Structure 1
């Protein structure tokens, strides 16, 4: 076997492994769809939180003015509705049909003209330069190939278009966060109750989540600086890390115990905005 043959087979094995992982991720989120909207941090339950999210979007994307917006990995369309409320013309993509079923039903119920399509966020099949803005929430940490995904997102943005990523490092924990979470767990056991949504207490789904996390690109944690560096390498400019999500977390905290709210405030969560350059695009 030549060196070229060996490299080709190694590439095939990696691609096959990545495809298997993608299938597992798709199945995981399909299973999560039924109870996804029950969790604070997923669905929005108060006007205070809605206003906080919309302020974050305006801060990084500006006024909507009917501009086309792409909500990647839209799930049950929480972010799609935020964008629609602000006046964007919204398309939501997701590859889990159960999520899209709920997204479409929610849009019908609310009388919203939001377009939903099934697609992989890493290979959208959308036209070149089709959108003024792209938004993702809690997607980047699940990416198998973020460099390819960021290049794809740059392609479908118009020159001068803006990308907004909202994500976090859900792997690494500081000492204070670890202590708070351990104390919270102990208290829950004593009181014999769980403050999380039902899907988060399912052992099988938790095991699947852990197995997936070990194999995605950001298996050691999606630190904001690492994500920003990959965006710059993909050709984005004006890459800005925004850690000021306090208003969102404060609005969500009314649904949690004090320890859960404190733990959430200590997590490495962030928003990152970036621009497709106009010149040399």
Structure 2
């Protein structure tokens, strides 16, 4: 863990922000972060269409938008997209990427757990790999409900990155063994030991320190007031296309993980 974590007035949320700010420079180099093929892009489009439908000019809010990967997917489908992230280096890259691609996406600095947005402002709220990092998910889910229009849709893409099954451990061990011997393609980019330790430290102290299982997320969403909640574990097309950028065993390990999309709605009539 970074020594700044021990400073007065520097809490876990500040440490999470600093960690992702430091990760910004290499974020898009990792399969599973940026999209590396049109085949993968199409797989993400199918997931979004399945749960959100066509954009048709509707407003979408991409929380913890990072370098804008999900924002671009939503823009592809015709949504009017606003991305929110609290790491300025991520936002700088996102704005640069949107300009280069000629995309009209608004990126703002802000906190996904306290967005400061107007009530009932968005048709859709989306996030990817955010929930596992939340310090106070119950409050965050109420916040996301608040900014949605009545009948609006939430889509969460996340997973349990703590608990592993036997198959994942087996494939991960083969992956590590093959990389050590130089027989398998190395993970790219590889994190420094300091960054890996910071990641582990953060993960041990967030709300879902024991793993963001889908059923636990659903319980909190229901308590926050969401309805029509659906857990979708059919992400195999996405994982299959991503696996082409890893070595064989890394790809197999990814497919065995507990990853999911959760779709939910705000009631059409305010409670």
Tell me which of 100, 112, 131 is aligned to 2:103.
Answer: 112
Larger deviation: 179-188 or 136-145? 179-188
In the TM superposition, what whole-angstrom CA distance separates every residue of 1:191-224 from its partner, at most 9, and x where no partner exists? 17762122x3311110100000010000000000
Query: Structure 2 CA distance, aligned partners of 1:269 and 1:19?
Result: 31
Equivalent residue for 1:103? 94
State the alpha-carbon separation in 1 of the partners of residues 174 and 99 from structure 2: 43
Count of residues in Structure 1 that have an aligned counterpart in Structure 2 = 265
Name the structure 2 match of 1:165: 156
**Distance in 2 of aligned mates of 1:110 and 1:191:** 37
**One of 178, 185, 191 as aligned partner of 1:187:** 178
Distance 1:53 1:100, change over 3 A: same
Match of 1:202 in 2: 192
Aligned to 2:74: 83
C-alpha distance in 2, partners of 1:105/1:147? 33
Map of 2:16 onto structure 1:
25
User: Is this contact kept in 2: 1:18–1:144, CA < 8 A?
Assistant: no
Q: 1:150-161 alignment to 2 at 5 Å?
A: 150-161=141-152
Counterpart-to-counterpart distance in 2, 1:211 and 1:17: 18
Name 2:3's counterpart in structure 1: none
- Secondary structure of 1:188's partner? helix
Q: Give ranges in structure 1 of 5+ residues lacking alignment.
A: 1-15
Higher helix share: 1
- Shift of the 234–19 alpha-carbon distance from structure 1 to 2, 3 Å rule, reads farther
Instruction: Tell me the secondary structure at the aligned position of residue 121 of structure 1.
Output: coil
Change (3 A) 1:194 1:23: farther
The one-character-per-residue Cα deviations of 1:36-85 (angstroms, maximum 9, x if unpaired) are 00011000010000000010000000111100000000000000000001
Matched, 1:267 2:257: yes
Structure 2: state its 5+ residue gaps.
Answer: 1-6
TM-score, normalization: structure 1? 0.92
CA distance in 2, matches of 1:263, 1:19: 36
Find the residue that maps to 2:123 and give its secondary structure.
strand
Q: State the shift of 1:280 in Å.
A: 3.2
Partners in 1 of 2:81 and 2:62 — Cα distance?
7
Question: Contact (CA 8 Å) 1:30, 1:98: kept in 2 or not?
Answer: yes
Bigger Rg, which one: 1
Q: Distance in 2 between matches of 1:69 and 1:19?
A: 32
Q: Distance in 1 between matches of 2:183 and 2:193?
A: 17
Residues 73-98 of structure 1, C-alpha deviation per residue, up to 9 Å, x if partnerless? 00000000000010000000000000
Q: Distance in 2 between matches of 1:182 and 1:138?
A: 24
Which residue of the partner structure matches residue 149 of structure 1? Answer: 140
Q: Give the ranges of 4+ consecutive aligned residues of structure 1 lying more than 6 Å apart after TM superposition.
A: 16-19
Contact 2:175 2:184 in 1 (8 A): no
TM normalised by structure 2 equals 0.95
